[in-house]
Chain A
Amino acid sequence: MLVRIAFAVVLLLAPVMARADVTFSGFLQQNTAFNTREANPDGRHHKWMEERAQLKLDASSGAWHLLAKGDLAWDHLGRQDQSELREAYVDYTASNWDMRLGRQVITWGLGDLVFVNDVFPKDHEAMFAGRPMDYLKRGVDAVKLGAYPEFANFELVLTPHFRESRIPDARRFHLYDPMPAVTTRGTTKPDQGDLGLRVYRDVGGWDAALYLYRGFQRTPSMRPDSMTAPTRIDYFYPQLSVYGASISGRAAEGVLSLEAAYYDSRQDRSGSDFAVPNSQTRLLAGYQIQPVEDLSLGFQYYAERMHDYGAYLVALPAGFPVDKRWSHTATARLTQFFLHQTLRLSVYASYNASNGDRFVNPELRYSFTDRIWGAVGANHYGGKPWGQFGQLARDDNLYLQMRYEF
């Protein structure tokens, strides 16, 4: 309701921006994902089934710019009204600094569905349920300040209220649960915000960036009230700081991307609390080439290393799955265009050599006209029952997306 009021206010305010250059656009969309292996835990046969209309208002006047994107959506799988304000912000642009205030999507880092320095909220459910790419990220309500002195570019993001990533719904996905008998559960969200700083510039023809983040994990950890006879589980978002760097540039025939980050798990620096993720180092190397016309290939190697592995092993309760100190993942993406780039085939595959986790997502997308496009794709998951993708092994699906843009 609040979202709709906010959106209505924005719409009403629009004409007030006298002499402003105003445009309206949007789309109508149908999105359905069919289970191809098993029914959902709630017995339904679809991961997703909804109609959605997006309205986008874009207005600018002098140094000011306003953008508002609101969705009216109806879900057929029990959630019903899913209307939301996707983004709504005001930009002010001066010659060597700028500001963006409001709900906005922020993406950092270089990974393709692998996140090293992208500490901003995602919608993991959207990815697993075959929703279009624009739903993979969630906006944050933030102030973003940009400063552009000669020697480097600065981007400071201040978020007064923490916003978490959306994780898949346990009614639709078969999620790993080490204590299924405990049904009393609660979630505590941080009552603080978070902050991030990105500094970037060109270094000898390479795009170089440094990243700092102080906030919280975006996905929750769980803590039972007792290990021996648990009656209640509390979900919480542990404190986290991230210090990272990335570079990307031309190497031989393609583009090489390198990224690293240190995840400082501030709530448990010794690694002795099993409920809080261990401090980590994350490393990513990516390479993208275009071997022939309309064909693009991308490869990534991604590693995670736990810092206090000894303490982790000691603290881990009996019966919980044991992660390895190192986790090694390889991914590949192929994108091929046909028919004057109106038909696109893309295949993304990910394999974790440390725990066997795997994910394959082929997709075919066709633009019927300049306004109507449709996509058909599949999500296939596999691995150990507690792995990121392994736990979804029964959630394979085939999805359809159809959009009319205006």
Chain B
Amino acid sequence: MKYLAIAIAALLPLPSLAITGEEVMKQSQAAFLYPGKDFKARVTMKLIGKDGGERVRELVMLRKNFGAAGGEQKYFMVFFKPADVKDMSFMTYKYPAKDDDRWMFIPAVNMVKRIAAQDNRSSFVGSDFTYEDVSGRDIEDDSHAIEREEKLGGRDCYVVKSTPKKGDADFGHKLTWVDKTNFLPLKEDQFDRKGAAYKLFTADEVAVIKGHPTVIRRTMKNQQSGHRTEAAYANSDYELGIEDSLFSERFLRQPPRKWLE
């Protein structure tokens, strides 16, 4: 009888591994990209070349959830810098497991244009971040497995290996260090399809805003080209009561001042 009990215990998974890789990534997505009903930040991206040359992209980003974590979201962005894209605005309706809808307002000709958006792995405004890095990647696009658990900067983390199910991603696999306490991704190590080190994401500063732990400084470095992008999310805030009507052609043409600070 005693031996049987031991045998059953051996068949049970270890308590700390009770969670699956997919669940970790789902909770991480919820913590990183879905907290609050809505969110606003003034994002400054520094694009830094191998030689140290610097370009600055500055925008306000507004996000509103329509449904639970992993569900539909709408994004609204207005650019301030550089000067030649000032007052340009950009809107995305993001759907789970379906291509996004995107629109752009071009002030030079005062025109709103719907734009094609099938490649979420393409660069966001020329930075090292992709559209998916900014607004999320579908969990179902990859298979996820917990590789190990380890400390990173004093925080207990799950290390999750994610491998794209289809071969059309620019990366072969990635390892994500997910904080066990707040589920924020603290580091992401991407490898190209040949297995060589590719892009490296680091969460450089986390602040708790209205109860939501928020990554307010982050870096994405392309280890192959040496180019990196540092993004600072200033004035980050939640639960602002952003109206549904904001996400419309009307306000794309004329973004309300109150959301631009």
Contacts and interface: CB of A to CB of B under 8 A. Distances in A.
B is bound to A: yes
Interface of A: 21, 25, 27, 60, 65, 91, 93, 98, 104-107, 110, 132-134, 136-137, 146, 148, 153, 200, 205, 207, 248-250, 253-255, 257, 288-290, 292-294, 296, 337, 340-342, 367, 369-371, 373, 403, 405-406
Given A205-B101, A254-B116, A342-B55, 13 more contacts: A21-B257, A104-B110, A105-B110, A110-B113, A133-B109, A136-B109, A289-B118, A290-B116, A293-B170, A296-B116, A340-B55, A341-B125, A342-B126
A71 B196 CA distance: 53
15 contacts: A205-B101, A207-B114, A250-B99, A254-B116, A255-B114, A255-B115, A290-B115, A290-B117, A290-B122, A292-B119, A340-B47, A340-B227, A370-B82, A373-B84, A403-B84
A332 to B, nearest CB: 15
Which 6 pairs from chain A and chain B are nearest by CB?
Answer: A341-B126, A405-B83, A370-B82, A293-B122, A340-B126, A134-B108
Interface stretch (B140-148, B149-157, B211-219, B248-256): B248-256
Nearest to A343: B126
B11 to A, nearest CB: 47
Interface string B119-134: 1011101110000000
Contacts, number: 103
Given A21-B257, A342-B126, A367 B119 contact: no
Contacts of A205: 101
Contact of A250 (B56, B101, B249): B101
Contacts of B118: 253-254, 289-290
A264 to B, nearest CB: 25
B180 interface: no
Mostly helix, strand, loop or mixed at chain B's interface? Answer: loop
B84 A293 contact: no
Given A91-B254, A133-B108, A137-B110, A288 B55 contact: no
A200 B248 CA distance: 11
Which of B99, B115, B126 counts the most A-chain CB atoms under 10 A from its CB?
Answer: B126
Contact of B119 (A25, A93, A293): A293
Contacts of B119: 290, 292-293
B206 to A, nearest CB: 27
Nearest to A96: B245
A367 B55 CA distance: 10
Nearest to B261: A21
Contacts of A296: 115-116
Nearest to B98: A250
A148 B244 CA distance: 13
B81 interface: yes
A119 B199 CA distance: 48
Contact of B109 (A110, A134, A148, A341): A134
A370 B117 CA distance: 26
A288 B116 contact: yes
Contacts of A93: 254, 256
Given A253-B118, A340-B55, A340-B227, A293 B110 contact: no
A289 B119 CA distance: 10
B111 interface: yes
B255 to A, nearest CB: 11
Contacts of A292: 119
B86 interface: yes
Contacts of B108: 132-134
Interface in B152-185: 170
Contact of A98 (B47, B55, B122, B254): B254
A318 to B, nearest CB: 42
Given A134-B108, A341-B126, A371 B82 contact: yes
Contacts of A148: 245, 248, 250
A136 B111 CA distance: 12
A110 B109 CA distance: 12
Nearest to A148: B250
A391 B55 CA distance: 44
Contacts of B122: 290, 293-294
